[in-house]
Structure 1
């Protein structure tokens, strides 16, 4: 009798183990390969198109509608209002790039293309980081450009009403830039979730649950129990910590008890969460079969 055939998964694992790491592509070539794949995916075009449309449309709409009253508002209120005009869309665009972050990795698992991807880099870490780099860079650039267009148009609309924010004030331009940093970190967070679960539906559900449902649950629980630690935990959620990145900081002490984050603190918390999720996802991806 002939020996039984080896299972396809075992054959692939043996081939993968027999390929030395030196055969894998260099990181720049991996980045180039992932860039080609990213721009060729239909969901990438749609998600970035929605991001651009929402960012510019919301800034233009609010810039045209909002009238704070020329000479009647203190400069700080004018600055804060302008920041809000150009960052109000972030809560929506973050969800869009969250979906994209999941799809760019789960799509490969769904089609089986991930086998070729990991064969090109047997160690897997390089190609995972290359995909994350391309996703982060593309998301940040698209967000910065669309936000810049929104700022330029909304500034002109507000100037027609004799409302002039102080663009040289870091309290104005840093939150606007922070909005792009936030959506980039959200995309990376979702990418890590997608790499962990390997399912488009599951990854999107978990990501949206963390950013939409979990804050509501903790808020209700904190309100019912009056437990400060619950409110502090809610402050450390990705959506709450990240919101500090694009929030205008008004002068004066805030009458808030418990844990309070500023822009840099929110960035630090969200960045750590992204790194932790990413590290766990990479460890799991390296240890399991495709």
Structure 2
């Protein structure tokens, strides 16, 4: 019986050993998408938020429908002229609910990994932390944008169908309608990215949620248009930018600003939040 000899592998100097190929960015995006869709809590949160937002909007339109006959002739005549159908297409209460929920969901994308310790595994597998966070930001933006579009579109369609029962519903081609829908839809990814950025810096779920509430909702209430510095600071926040974009009239204000400025606030918040999320994990321990 002859023994089989195992062939010897060629010698490779230590400094020349082959390394594993670096993960492609699309692979990181796919991995983050798998993480997100595999969590049942994520879809429960999105689903609950969608139902709450649409219910707030539809409830307001339904209240108008039920009490329509109680309005005076002048109030009925001015309903369309004053742009009330567009105001009820996406109400401020619904916007606040969506901002709170999306900020928390965006934060949990990263704080959840810190709380369970899986972030160590993630960064051990992919040492390029900035690329990992960029992939997270892409997935958060895509899902939140799809969510915002669905909720804003459904809210508009449902509310106008209800109001059309009284002959005061408006089509999507009505002046200002597209702006209301788009502004409400894009508010979702802006708030989700803000939550992601805060979660990257703070790393604790409870503290991040509190900070998100303060930044997204409390500050806009505190900063009023009574003083120039306060008005300018308030205009730089997402909620007041949304209020400007969904305004159906150009009523004079002490410190006016434009819809272009409000869209710019959206863009700056999204870009800065993504940048903070990408750079916030560098040169820090896990």
Say yes or no: does 1:111 pair with 2:101. no
Deviation at 1:249, TM superposition (A): 3.3
Deviation at 1:284, TM superposition (A): 2.8
Of residues 132, 140, 157 in structure 2, which corresponds to 1:135? 140
What's the secondary structure of 2:77's corresponding residue? coil
Superposition TM-score, scaled by structure 2 size: 0.82
Say yes or no: does 1:43 pair with 2:48. no
Superposition TM-score, scaled by structure 1 size: 0.81
Q: Give the gaps of 5 or more residues in structure 2.
A: 1-17
Indicate the residue corresponding to 2:4 in structure 1: none
Indicate the residue corresponding to 1:54 in structure 2: 52
Moved over 4 A (4+): 67-71
Deviation at 1:207, TM superposition (A): 0.8
Deviation at 1:111, TM superposition (A): 0.9
Matches within 5 A, 1:203-242: 203-219=208-224, 227-242=227-242
Indicate the residue corresponding to 1:82 in structure 2: 85
For 2:277 and 2:189, how far apart are their aligned partners in 1? 18
Judge which range, 193-202 or 263-272, deviates more: 263-272
For 1:152 and 1:238, how far apart are their aligned partners in 2? 24
What's the secondary structure of 2:192's corresponding residue? helix
Deviation at 1:74, TM superposition (A): 6.1
What's the secondary structure of 2:167's corresponding residue? coil
Indicate the residue corresponding to 2:104 in structure 1: 99
Deviation at 1:97, TM superposition (A): 0.7
What's the secondary structure of 2:229's corresponding residue? helix
Deviation at 1:164, TM superposition (A): 3.2
Q: Give the gaps of 5 or more residues in structure 1.
A: 1-18
For 2:175 and 2:126, how far apart are their aligned partners in 1? 43
For 2:27 and 2:120, how far apart are their aligned partners in 1? 18
Is the 1:25–1:120 contact (alpha carbons within 8 Å) kept by the matching residues of 2?
Answer: no
Q: How many residues align?
A: 261
Larger Rg: 2
CA displacement 1:193-243 (0-9 Å, x = unmatched): 101111111111111111222233333xx75xxx42222222222322243
